[in-house]
Amino acid sequence: MTGAERREEIIRRIREADQPVPARDLAGLYHVSRQVIVQDIALIRALGYEIISTNRGYLLHMPSEVSRVFKVRHTDEQLEEELCAIVDLGGTVENVMVSHRVYGRLEAELGISSRRKAAEFLEDIRSGKSSPLKNITSGYHYHKVTADSEKTLDLIREDLKKRGFLVETEETA
């Protein structure tokens, strides 16, 4: 078994465990020293896994939310429809991003998780305080959307596609 295969197995074991998994148990299981397991855990963390060390062993923190970035395009008049479609299906519109040819990537936090928050945002836009960021890129923009599951994000994606807002790219196809 290679080190990479062992680390995959460690992730799987910790993910499936009902209680913390001690390093000594992992070391015995894979016939390596406890120090090798400690080094493996460091490498696993470097890959982005949130491994928590306790006095009883290792736990894997599983995020309760998942996220996806959607590339969309619509008119100002369709802004409310877009936001409500996302929040009505259980998503939160975390931000808006544009990729400008001169300025590069521009991003603004939104945190829109309900129709009420969408209405407040839209009121600020309609009052003339500012115009939507999407307007500097001919309507093209991205939203990071969080939800409770991949299934919810799939439903949001399909709804945005059905409404004609989703811009198909390699990432979203």
pLDDT value at 173 more than 60: no
Q: How far is residue 36's CA from residue 84's CA, in Å, rounded to a whole number?
A: 50
Buried-state track 58-75, b at ≥16 Cβ within 10 A, e below 16: bbbeeeeeeebebbbbbe
Domains of the chain: 3-60 (1.10.10.10), 66-162 (3.30.1340.20)
Backbone angles phi, psi at 63, to 5 degrees: -60, 140
pLDDT in tens, 24-58: 999 999 999 999 999 999 999 988 888 999 999 99
Structure tokens at 91: 């998503």
Cβ proximity of 21 and 13 under 8 Å: yes
Read off the pLDDT band of 5 (50, 70, 90).
very high
Provide the 8-state DSSP code for 20.
Answer: -
Question: H or E element: which one contains 66?
Answer: strand 66-73
- pLDDT tens string 10-30: 999 998 888 999 999 999 999
